[in-house]
Structure 1
Amino acid sequence: MAQINHWKKLTDCDLSGYTLIIPSVAVGNVGQLACDLVISSLHMRKIGLVYSPAIIPILGYDPYKIGSTNLSGCCELYECAEKKLVILLLRAPLVYKYGKKFLTEVVEKFKGENIKDIIILTSSFAHERKHIMTSPFRYVVNELSPHTSTLRTLDWVEHESKSETVKILGGGFASLLYEIIKEKSVPCLVLYKFVSEGDNIPDAYEMVQYLNTIVPLFDKSDIYSQLIHPVSWNLMFGGPPPRDIY
């Protein structure tokens, strides 16, 4: 049976010149948490839904507004016209069998929309960090990225690789997506952090701060006061145990 991915537009908008951010489902889910933070803080609007056999289906309440009657699915598109930013937020892992075809379609679709560049946010296993005294963040950039000159002025650490293929262990589909983007000649930057599973909210805040250095979304003088905690984070680890069990 042929793999069919359904793209449902909720509103028409011109994405020419936009930056597309895609978080990879990875260790600690730092990419997703960072995107949650950006979407909530910029009051981004949902402009599309994606249904695909490549994504494990999930459904839940609106993660950004209490009392909303809207539901959220496993793959949604959010837009901020003021910042010329669009986020393709995946809330579930990819099914390996269909993953590559889905990601290829994603890249081709947004390339056809004339986006400016793609930024992949992900994470890697903390024990893979070889140089402990350096920053926990790493980046990978292709030669087409508009952020290359900015990165050269920053004291950031570039991803170390012994081969031409980028491998980010624990980074989910980030490596595969980067290779597809490179093959399709689309400007791309990958930003990731070495983390462990647990409370990864602080990692998300720090990732947004790093992202803001490359793509100005917030006032850099006091970025944390501008970030709005998504309501979906209130019960991230569930409620307290019922007292009746004691």
Structure 2
Amino acid sequence: MQKTFVFDEKINLNGYSVVFPSVCVGNVAQLAVDFLISTLEMKKVATVWHTAIIPILGPRAFDHKTVSDASSPSANITTACELFVSEAKRLACFQLRSPLVAGKCLTAFFGELIELLKDQQVQQIVILTGMFSHEQHAIGTTKFMYLANNQCQKECKAQLENGSWIKWDENNKIIHGGGFALKLYKQIGESVSSCIFFKYTAEGDNRNDAAEMVYHLNSLLGGILAQSSDQGGFKLVSPCSWNAMFGNDPTEQLY
């Protein structure tokens, strides 16, 4: 039987915060995770394979030291789903680069994922996603929303009530454009402290949306990013994979 999680090295995620992006409108969640991995120079520790994951293969997406100097053969390639960690920040990020297949296999994958994180005794799971901006009907309010289970609301009460985002109505049955985020959240239930954090956004160049998401996520995660100014700002580092975000420049022969 094929292993779902293929670890490059032994890991211990006890007490870690875990970020999982949902494939969503504008890919804002994936872009935010790219920012975290590149800025914190997180180390890839596992490749994830499952029938629910559409496979892809490409060159490495990050060029920082913990990736380029790694001895594992998987260090120089990018696959559909990978796990990165920062031991110093006690943060783990899954990066997902292809859609997931709906149905029973998706439920099975989430079950295996949740069991792994429970066994590792992680502190909390943060699911990132986006929602179509035209679904925001309360004009003039924040574009950031959250939905947290009881454990997360107790443990992160101060962070959640800081006014940067507002609570999403739990009676809503769908996050339009949010992919599988709500399904994963509901499957986690109360087994682990968890929340969904999302931004109203639209398709296009969503790098600024991702930067804003990381800025607000930083406070939820206890200020994991070092300040680079007296005003409390910090510098985000873009991964090398973003150099080809919009493809090659058009050939001059067209003109």
Is this a same-fold pair by TM over 0.5? yes
1:139 and 2:137 are equivalent in the alignment: no
1:85 and 2:96 are equivalent in the alignment: no
Q: Which runs of 5+ in 2 are unaligned?
A: 69-74
- Aligned-pair CA distance for 1:149: 3.4
Distance 1:243 1:155 in 2: 46
Q: 1:181 aligns with which of 188, 210, 216?
A: 188
* Counterpart position of 2:36: 38
* Counterpart position of 1:218: 225
- Going from structure 1 to structure 2, the CA distance change for 1:83 and 1:92 (only over 3 Å counts) comes to same
What do residues 35-89 of structure 1 show as CA deviations (whole Å, max 9, x unaligned)? 0000000000000011111011111111111895710100100000001001111
Q: State, as a whole percentage, how many aligned pairs show the same letter.
A: 38
Q: What number of residue pairs does the alignment pair up?
A: 241
1:232 and 2:232 are equivalent in the alignment: no
- Aligned-pair CA distance for 1:7: 1.2
- Going from structure 1 to structure 2, the CA distance change for 1:149 and 1:112 (only over 3 Å counts) comes to same
* Counterpart position of 1:102: 109
Contact 1:212–1:220 (CA<8 Å) still a contact in 2? no
TM (norm. structure 2) is 0.89
Q: What secondary structure is seen at the aligned counterpart in 2 of 1:123?
A: strand
Q: Which runs of 5+ in 1 are unaligned?
A: none
- Aligned-pair CA distance for 1:139: 0.5
Contact 1:161–1:167 (CA<8 Å) still a contact in 2? no
Distance 1:177 1:96 in 2: 12
- Going from structure 1 to structure 2, the CA distance change for 1:221 and 1:213 (only over 3 Å counts) comes to farther
- Going from structure 1 to structure 2, the CA distance change for 1:153 and 1:196 (only over 3 Å counts) comes to closer
Contact 1:7–1:48 (CA<8 Å) still a contact in 2? yes
Distance 2:2 2:182 in 1: 23
TM (norm. structure 1) is 0.92
What do residues 221-242 of structure 1 show as CA deviations (whole Å, max 9, x unaligned)? 6465421111111110112111
Contact 2:227–2:234 (CA<8 Å) still a contact in 1? no
Root-mean-square deviation over aligned CA pairs: 1.9
Contact 2:84–2:94 (CA<8 Å) still a contact in 1? yes
- Going from structure 1 to structure 2, the CA distance change for 1:5 and 1:27 (only over 3 Å counts) comes to farther
